[in-house]
Structure 1
Amino acid sequence: MAAAAASCPAAPRRLCSAVALPAPSPAASRHRRVVGYGSSSTRRWPCRRWPHRPESAAASRIRRPTPSRRAAAVRVVCAYTPRAERITACSWNEYVVCSDIPVLIEFWASWCGPCRMVTRIVDEIAQEYDGRIKCYKLDTDDYPQIATAYSIDRIPTVLLFKDGEKIDSITGTLPKAVYVKAIEKSISDQ
């Protein structure tokens, strides 16, 4: 048993569960020089090691979640469900150009904060006008050729299509009533 333990390499030290640190060299573990100004520049400090046991002073400062906090966090459920479907450049003609009912397209990007606000409005509109209008989202970072084809240089931008042609464009974060007014106008023209 002793021979098997001697042949195994030493386990690496752990900084956390995701990062393994190699063991320090013997020269580095003795002392570390601190360079600075004045007479205290040659002070020696002992090597600081990461805590290995939960009893250490550093580990006692970490606030660990109790089982009751973990259970409460698991029970939290977001009630928001997206209604507008994502669209790609490949499906553009099928869903937008060849559609027999009006289509609302939101041009957005994942890094855009105001786009998230408009996405919620578009999802509400998609739920309210289900069957009378189709709502889609197009990521301008993934498909810039479509954004360029319709001269979209700012986001969020919402375009309204009817019979494959653009009939209205709304740029920026605006109240829901502005989008509803444009939709009602396109539906009443049918």
Structure 2
Amino acid sequence: MLVPEEDSVGAIKDVTDATFVSEVLQSPTPVLVDFWAEWCAPCRKVAPLLEEIAGEMGDKVRIVKVNTDENPETARAYRIMSVPTLTVFKGGQPVQSVAGAKPKGDLIKLIESAS
């Protein structure tokens, strides 16, 4: 997997337990967090859709990924029981969440509902 440059608009960034507060909770922009795992087939199905959305929505939203196997503290803190779970954070708070692979249109509506 290619690691995107941090400052590029529309880039999806990997976030860890150590960086979650600064990257998500303190973000001035709404953040869509993709809680995922390497072994999860539906997670792999959602990933390219998130890449497309990140490119299309630009600086309206940040999209980040949290690998729940590698970052159990964050997954536990937000009671992530299944992957993928996609949660929109705004102003440091989770405002909308869906579990499972969803079509692109549903993901865009999820993001827009928090804007």
**Both structures adopt the same fold (TM-score exceeding 0.5):** yes
Distance 1:182 1:155 in 2: 17
Partner of 1:92: 20
Q: Which has the larger radius of gyration?
A: 1
Distance 1:90 1:147 in 2: 12
With CA pairs under 8 Å and 6+ residues apart, which has the higher RCO, 1 or 2?
Answer: 2
Distance 1:186 1:159 in 2: 10
Partner of 2:60: 132
Partner of 2:75: 147
The alignment status of 1:107 with 2:35, answered yes or no, reads yes
Query: How many aligned residue pairs are there?
Result: 108
Distance 2:93 2:43 in 1: 23
Distance 1:94 1:156 in 2: 22
- What secondary structure is seen at the aligned counterpart in 2 of 1:85? strand
Tell me which protein shows more strand as a share of its residues.
Answer: 2
Distance 2:111 2:91 in 1: 14
Distance 2:84 2:35 in 1: 6
- What secondary structure is seen at the aligned counterpart in 1 of 2:79? coil
Specify whether residues 120 and 81 from structure 1 end up closer, same or farther in structure 2 by C-alpha distance, changes over 3 A only: farther
Structure 1 residue 183 displacement after superposition: 1.2
> Which segments of 5 or more consecutive residues in structure 2 lack a partner in the other structure?
5-10
What TM-score comes out, normalization by structure 2 length? 0.88
Structure 1 residue 181 displacement after superposition: 0.7
Distance 1:92 1:143 in 2: 10
What TM-score comes out, normalization by structure 1 length? 0.54
Specify whether residues 81 and 138 from structure 1 end up closer, same or farther in structure 2 by C-alpha distance, changes over 3 A only: closer
- What secondary structure is seen at the aligned counterpart in 2 of 1:167? strand
